[in-house]
Amino acid sequence: MITVYKKSVFAAFEEEKVPVIANTVNTKGVMGAGLALEFKLRFPSYFDNYREKCSHESPSPGSAWIFRGDIFPRIISLFVKEDWKMPSKISWIRSSLKRAEEIITESNFERVALPLAGAGKGGIDPQTSENITREVFESSKAEILLCLDKTTSKTEESMIKQLRAMSEYELKCLTLRPSIIKRLLDKREDVTRFREILDIRGIGIKTYSILFNALISREPGNDNQLNLF
């Protein structure tokens, strides 16, 4: 059974208590943008394991793999890209979803949250991705939440509010450059999704990661992050 869910896979875990969520990845061990970057920041032990797997096992595009570490949720990696610089392919999306369906069946998972595979940085039309997902999981016994990521989760909404409320002193405590602090103070009211911080001129992954970790560490139940305050 497939249920369309307007929020992200992270909201499905945090708010709907879905115990298994999926991430879209490449085979090169890089999580530098989009959904994968947030997985890297939220679950560092998962990222370390993924990077090691890519280094030593050379996964193929179209495969899938489940991380069963000492954290929850369980995480299924969908290898929908070969190189992070290149787009996804429909054949890889279909193949990785089929392998994910096998993992879900073998593991007797009852509820799983999936993103629109390849529809972000992968360049695949969202409707095409949704159609493939429905085709692959039409007979699945598990409840599949297909996450459109159209609205903020409670955690993301809280993080944005915290960002808007941070004082200049608090930003300085994060060792951000004065020029970066000025841009954040000037542009933060325009941020409606946390990832939009990366659209602010001069702000890269390093600054974004510092802000993400600092703010998510204040959220209840996010013990994977370092508490920086």
Within 13 Å of residue 115, how many CA atoms lie on the same side as its CB?
29
In this predicted structure, the answer to whether residue 25 has a pLDDT above a threshold of 50 is yes
The per-residue pLDDT of the chain, averaged, comes to 94
Strands (E), 19-108: 20-25, 64-67, 74-79
pLDDT band for position 50 (cuts 50, 70, 90): very high
Q: What share of the chain has pLDDT > 70, as a percent? A: 96
DSSP element (H, E) containing 211: helix 205-216
Query: Residue 67 in contact with residue 48, Cβ under 8 Å?
Result: no
Strands (E), 80-199: 111-115, 143-147
Point out the catalytic residue in the list 7, 40, 81, 121: 81
Phi and psi for 76 in degrees, rounded to 5? -100, 125
Write down the pLDDT at residue 220.
72
Query: How do the domains of the chain map onto residue ranges?
Result: 2-147, 154-216
CA distance 26 to 100: 15
> Which residues contact residue 144 at a Cβ distance below 8 angstroms, ignoring those fewer than 6 apart?
1, 2, 3, 112, 113, 114, 133, 137
Tokens 């679950």 locate to 43
pLDDT band for position 219 (cuts 50, 70, 90): confident
81 is catalytic: yes
Give pLDDT tens digits for 71-130: 789 999 999 999 999 999 999 999 999 999 999 999 999 999 999 999 988 999 999 999
Write down the pLDDT at residue 221.
63
Give pLDDT tens digits for 124-157: 999 999 999 999 999 999 999 999 999 999 999 9
Write down the pLDDT at residue 162.
97
69 by DSSP, 3-state: which? coil
In this predicted structure, the answer to whether residue 228 has a pLDDT above a threshold of 60 is no
3-state secondary structure 123-145: CCCHHHHHHHHHHHHCCCCCEEE
In this predicted structure, the answer to whether residue 225 has a pLDDT above a threshold of 90 is no
The whole-number average pLDDT for the span 43-69 is: 95
Architecture per CATH, domain 2-147, reads as: 3-Layer(aba) Sandwich (3.40)
Could you tell me the sign of the dihedral formed by the alpha carbons of 90, 85, 145, 48, in that order?
positive
Q: By C-alpha distance, which of 45, 1, 11, 2 is closest to 157? A: 11
